[in-house]
């Protein structure tokens, strides 16, 4: 199984991916994970990937341009069975869903 992860802070994933089950799966060749820094596809030279909410209020929202550029570039070099975008209001990721993903052809 191969997993590509787009993230603003790739350093946060170094530890979880290098320990426990994830490490053992990678050592056995069952899993490969590639973490991509989203700022590589930023809209300006400062690495900006988020912006203020249009309606005002607290918090920031992710810009669509860096995500779209990243997905387009990665899709041009490999075919993906699914693209999973994690959001606070999305469907809850559970074991049943993960089991289904593991059965995909591209895994």
Domains and CATH numbers, the chain: 2-102 (3.40.1280.10)
Cα distance between residue 41 and residue 47, in whole Å: 8
Give the C-alpha separation, 59 to 39, whole Å.
19
pLDDT exceeds cutoff 60 at 39: yes
Q: What is the pLDDT of residue 29?
A: 93
pTM of the prediction?
A: 0.82
Tokens of 11: 């350093």
| pLDDT interval class at 106 (50, 70, 90) | low
What's the CA gap between 50 and 39, in Å, rounded? 10
Q: β-strands 50-52, 60-62: how paired?
A: antiparallel
């Amino acid at each position: 199984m191969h997993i590509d992860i787009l993230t603003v802070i790739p350093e946060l994933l170094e530890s979880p991916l290098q320990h426990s089950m994830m490490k053992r799966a990678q050592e056995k060749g069952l899993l490969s994970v590639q973490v991509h820094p989203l700022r590589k596809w930023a809209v300006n030279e400062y690495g900006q990937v988020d912006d203020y909410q249009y309606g005002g209020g607290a918090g920031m929202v992710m810009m669509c341009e860096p995500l779209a550029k990243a997905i387009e570039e990665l899709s041009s070099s490999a075919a993906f069975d699914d693209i999973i975008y994690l959001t606070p209001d999305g469907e809850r990721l559970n074991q049943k869903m993960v089991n289904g993903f593991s059965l995909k052809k591209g895994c």
